[in-house]
Amino acid sequence: MSKGATAKLVSALLTGGLLVGVLMFKGIPVVKAHVLPSPCDFTTGGGFVLNNDGSKVNFGIVGGCKNGGFFGHVNIGHVLRRAACEQYEH
């Protein structure tokens, strides 16, 4: 079998498999997993991990729901110690 014929056969098999997969999932209802709890609340956390050079990398997290939707973010700060002051890099 030549390379061109093999490529066409593989393409046809992949296309057929994709079509069968789509048809198998047709008609399945959509599940909505993101339900906002009532009352709405949030959580926070944080800590540090050690960098390869032994310095600390601090992190803080917050997440929850407000204004009818979810929110969250992560802050990461690497503390560099120079003389008697600390400088934060973001």
Question: Tokens at residue 88, please?
Answer: 């934060």
Q: Is the pLDDT of residue 83 over 50?
A: no
Domains identified in the chain, total number: 2
Residues 49 and 64 in one domain: yes
Q: Are residues 26 and 37 in the same domain?
A: no
* 74 lies in the same domain as 86: yes
Residue range 31-38: average pLDDT?
67
The tens digit of pLDDT for each residue in 53-67 reads: 888 888 899 988 877
**Which residue did the predictor score with more confidence, 81 or 12?**
12
Which structural domain range is residue 4 located in?
1-30
Q: Which residue has the higher pLDDT, 82 or 23?
A: 23
45 and 5 fall within a common domain: no
Tell whether 38 and 81 lie within a shared domain. yes
Residues 38 and 68 in one domain: yes
Statement: residue 27 has pLDDT above 60: yes
Tokens 């098999």 sit at which residue? 13
CA 60, CA 67: separation in Å to the nearest integer?
A: 22
